Amino acid sequence: MESPSQSQETFEFRCERCGSLLRVTPETIVAICNYCGHPAALHGTVSLDRIFMVPSKSREVILEAFNRRLEKDADMRRIRHQVQVFNIEGLYYPFWTAEVSMRGHAIYIRYEHRGSGKKARLERRRYEEDFNLSLPMGIMARRQALTFGLSDLLDYYRASSPQENRLLDIGEEDWRRGAHLNLLAPEFDEVEATNRLAEDAVDAVREEYKRKGQELEFFSAQIERVSKVKLILLPLWRVTYAFRGSLFQIIHAGWDGKPIVATEPILMFRRLLYVLGSLLACFIGGFGAILLERGYTEFGLIIFGLSVVMGFGLGRRLTADIRIEGRRRIWA
Ligand SMILES: [Zn+2]
């Protein structure tokens, strides 16, 4: 054996079913053959019979869905002739999902208004609750930072519950007939996934109790069990398009082509609309102030209050839209 190839051979695996070379990195825990779909467990705990896959539509179907949205969406229709598709890429992402059951106890404080008029007062109330919950949880099975659109993909998967096939049941022929998308290999195993999903579930419930009151006095939760653990491969398509020299992205769900989230150009007329709205709010506010001065107290206060709410809302949209560069969740 010559030395140069030795280090490479360490990570060279061949598919048990078709003999193709498997693409493997040191982090890969399951290698899934790109040519026939057969999985091979490399290390860690993974039950091969609990790996599922959602079939993907073809590139043509995704492009159709993209074009349909250009025609239908009010904002996009205005600019559709200046939009040029730059790249369409489909990829399978692995997710661990499970149902996490827990029991626990929480004590939280709320300050509530009691009575009215001169008797109105703020009352501190203490709430004590036992909970017994079962939460559907999911996490991407890779160590990279969360890519744009992945959490939306997972949410949409839950909402639309598409048809899914057990990987071991997909024959070689069926695999070759399907859309040829590259697969990203999962990088952590069932044991780690179970722990992480349980932690995430406890965090989610704690956050929920924090929202319920102004103070969280006590919180404890015990995991009863983590069930229905599975590894699911979800197809995601990323359409990149150019508009006036900038690139934008729309994420489509692979199983039905639905556009789920997008970064979009903030169009000038929309910005203008917000600015005009804010100016109008100032004007109404001024009108309210005049009414107040002339003794129309109640009416003046209502008008003034309205202008504050309006101005605040519009101002926030104006700055929020610019800051997130027009990230827009499309499905609802
Ligand atoms: Zn194979």
Same domain, 86 and 185: yes
Ligand 1 centroid–CA 178 distance in Å is 14
Pick the residue with more confidence: 97 or 36? 97
Q: What's the pLDDT tens digit per position in 48-86? A: 999 999 999 999 999 999 999 999 988 888 888 999 999
Ligand 1 centroid–CA 15 distance in Å is 5
Domain count along the chain: 2
Whole-number pLDDT of residue 327: 75
Ligand 1 centroid–CA 16 distance in Å is 7
Assigned domain for 112 exists: no
What is the rounded CA–CA span in Å between residue 257 and residue 237?
A: 8
Same domain, 45 and 172: yes
Q: What's the pLDDT tens digit per position in 229-255? A: 999 999 999 999 998 888 899 999 999
Question: Is the predicted pLDDT of residue 3 greater than 60, yes or no?
Answer: no
Ligand 1 centroid–CA 306 distance in Å is 65
Ligand 1 centroid–CA 41 distance in Å is 13
Same domain, 156 and 305: no
Q: What's the pLDDT tens digit per position in 283-308? A: 787 877 787 777 777 777 777 787 77
Rounded to 5°, the CA angle 78-82-85 comes to: 115
Same domain, 90 and 153: yes
Ligand 1 centroid–CA 59 distance in Å is 23
Same domain, 160 and 309: no
Instruction: For ligand 1, an ion, list residues with CB under 5 A.
Output: 15, 17-18, 20, 33, 35-36, 38
Q: What is the pTM of this model?
A: 0.77
- Spatial CA neighbour of 277 closest among 312, 247, 249, 303: 312
Domain that holds residue 147: 21-96+138-198+226-265
Dihedral sign (CA 94, 95, 96, 98): negative
Ligand 1 centroid–CA 14 distance in Å is 8
Ligand 1 centroid–CA 162 distance in Å is 25
130 CB-contact burial (10 Å; exposed 0-12 / middle 13-18 / buried 19+): exposed
Same domain, 40 and 83: yes
Same domain, 260 and 298: no
Same domain, 85 and 174: yes
Same domain, 71 and 192: yes
Whole-number pLDDT of residue 8: 44
Assigned domain for 1 exists: no
Ligand 1 centroid–CA 55 distance in Å is 18
Q: What's the pLDDT tens digit per position in 25-38? A: 888 899 999 888 89
- Token pair in block for residue 289: 């102030």
Assigned domain for 288 exists: yes
Same domain, 233 and 299: no
Same domain, 193 and 273: no
Question: Is the predicted pLDDT of residue 24 greater than 70, yes or no?
Answer: yes
Ligand 1 centroid–CA 179 distance in Å is 16
Ligand 1 centroid–CA 35 distance in Å is 5
Ligand 1 centroid–CA 57 distance in Å is 22
